[in-house]
Amino acid sequence: MLISLIIPASRLMSCLLLKRHLTFLVALMLFLPASGTSEESGFNDFQINFSGHWELDYQLSDHASEKIRRVYQEAKSKLEREMQRRGSYVDPSAFNLSSIVGLGRLAERIAQATVLDIEQDHNRIVINRNDDFALVCDLRFMQAQRSVLGAEACYWEEDQLVFQIALPDGLNVLHRLSIARDRSRINIATTLMLRGVRYPFTLNRVYMPYEPGEGLFQCEYTIARQTTCTLGSGGVEPE
């Protein structure tokens, strides 16, 4: 006997979306290292304190175009060595060289913040980024959980705080924060990994402390002119 089962379209869509979110969550949990609360991992806000106001240090930060070109050349060299080792033609598409450029440009957009306002206490860390959404880590519950983006988590990895976001279509984004012992610089290493692409792309952004309201230089980086800075209000022109 055949039984017909009719499911309303809205309910079917909800089921599919729920299944997709659960898939992201499971994938993220499998990808994450074992982690627990901040006390269990041995770190807390007294030992590592990211709080403060920070602005981008253009001189020490990666520049996307240069990094894309370097990673592309490295991948191309590996492809050429592989062809020499095999003594035969290797399809370049197997190395996804063109995807490196796309990942690099996406990393540039994701890591575009030039100013950070970081709040930290016993319970959580909030990283407010200009022109982007805030990164929030609940130090009491450092476990993978579902979000509007897919699935996300934060965890300690030795003395680094890591934010991980699992997005649709196999894209994973990691923000890895570390701070100098003298609090002179914060580094955020943003890494993009895409299913089917052999080479993850990492862009390092370095931030230095500043006091709000001070005159600061407004800097812009271009390939032709390198780093160009113009005078902000209350500052001193560079020599």
38-59 tens-digit pLDDT: 444 444 444 799 999 999 999 9
> What pLDDT score was predicted for residue 22?
41
Q: How far apart are CA 57 and CA 184, in angstroms?
A: 11
End-to-end CA distance of the chain: 88
> What pLDDT score was predicted for residue 144?
82
- Assigned CATH for 35-210: 2.40.128.20
Considering only residues 9 and 150, tell me which one the structure prediction assigns the higher pLDDT: 150
> What pLDDT score was predicted for residue 76?
82
Q: Are 67 and 223 in contact (CB under 8 A)?
A: no
State the DSSP H helix or E strand holding residue 212, giving kind and residue range, or none if neither. Answer: none
Q: What is the CB neighbour count within 10 angstroms for residue 104? A: 23
Q: State the average pLDDT over residues 82-98.
A: 71
> What pLDDT score was predicted for residue 62?
95
| Residue 184 amino acid letter | S
State the DSSP H helix or E strand holding residue 220, giving kind and residue range, or none if neither. Answer: strand 218-222
Q: Are 181 and 48 in contact (CB under 8 A)?
A: no
Q: Is residue 95 over pLDDT 50? A: yes
Q: How far apart are CA 57 and CA 185, in angstroms?
A: 9
Q: Are 187 and 205 in contact (CB under 8 A)?
A: yes
Q: Is residue 82 over pLDDT 80? A: no
Domain edges within the chain: 35-210
> What pLDDT score was predicted for residue 129?
95
Strands (E), 77-194: 115-120, 124-129, 135-138, 145-147, 150-157, 160-167, 171-179, 186-194
> What pLDDT score was predicted for residue 9?
41
Give the Å distances, CA to CA, from 77 to 70, 92, 95, 96, 231: 11, 11, 11, 13, 42
Q: State the average pLDDT over residues 81-94.
A: 71
Q: Is residue 192 over pLDDT 50? A: yes
> What pLDDT score was predicted for residue 165?
93
* pLDDT classification of 177: cutoffs 50, 70, 90: very high
